[in-house]
Amino acid sequence: MRTVLGHFASGVVVITASGPDGPLGFTCQSFSSLSLEPPLVSFCPARSSTTWPKIREVGQFCVNVLADGHAELSTAFARSGTDKYAGVRWTPAPSGAPILEGVAAWTDCSLEYEYPGGDHTIVAGRVHDLDSDASRAPLLFHRGVYRVAAPSPR
């Protein structure tokens, strides 16, 4: 299933939050815009994630849409139990959650719903603030490889 569905290309986000013991974050591909009215986004944390339960506890998080040049950052935020913020520059969103330097877009959210989803859960977040930087090309993930988008010739 992983091999077949790896053919579905996606962007990559890092979900961040300001925890009681410092900033939190994990890399996530299962992100989607969900609703305009009310403004909602969704993503799916694995039940094995050690960071998601801490972010759930905070109840507020920022979705960071990664840009070209963020492949190493994506890998760093996918490693459990490490100092994910070593050498990472960020500024706080209104919620206090980190906005990572150079991202293509971010949405600052509060936790709205969480549903069961097999070995993952399905999270809906309400968007309170957001911004984008049109000068940044998005980072893509396709068949296990990071890629950068190029315009289709036709």
Ligand X SMILES: Cc1cc2nc3c(=O)[nH]c(=O)nc-3n(C[C@H](O)[C@H](O)[C@H](O)COP(=O)(O)O)c2cc1C
Toward ligand X, which CB reaches closer, 48 or 152? Answer: 48
Closest contact distance (angstroms) between CB of 154 and ligand X is 29
Residue 94, sorted as left (phi over 0), alpha (psi -120 to 50) or beta, turns out to be alpha
Toward ligand X, which CB reaches closer, 46 or 111? Answer: 46
What residues have CB less than 8 Å from 23, skipping those under 6 apart? Answer: 16, 17, 85, 90, 97, 98
Residue 64 in the binding site for ligand X (CB under 6 A) = no
Assess contact for 133 and 70: CB atoms under 8 A: no
3-state secondary structure at position 8: coil
Among 32, 33, 35, 80, binds ligand X (CB under 6 A): 80
Among 6, 46, 128, 136, binds ligand X (CB under 6 A): 46
Residue 78 in the binding site for ligand X (CB under 6 A) = yes
Closest contact distance (angstroms) between CB of 29 and ligand X is 3
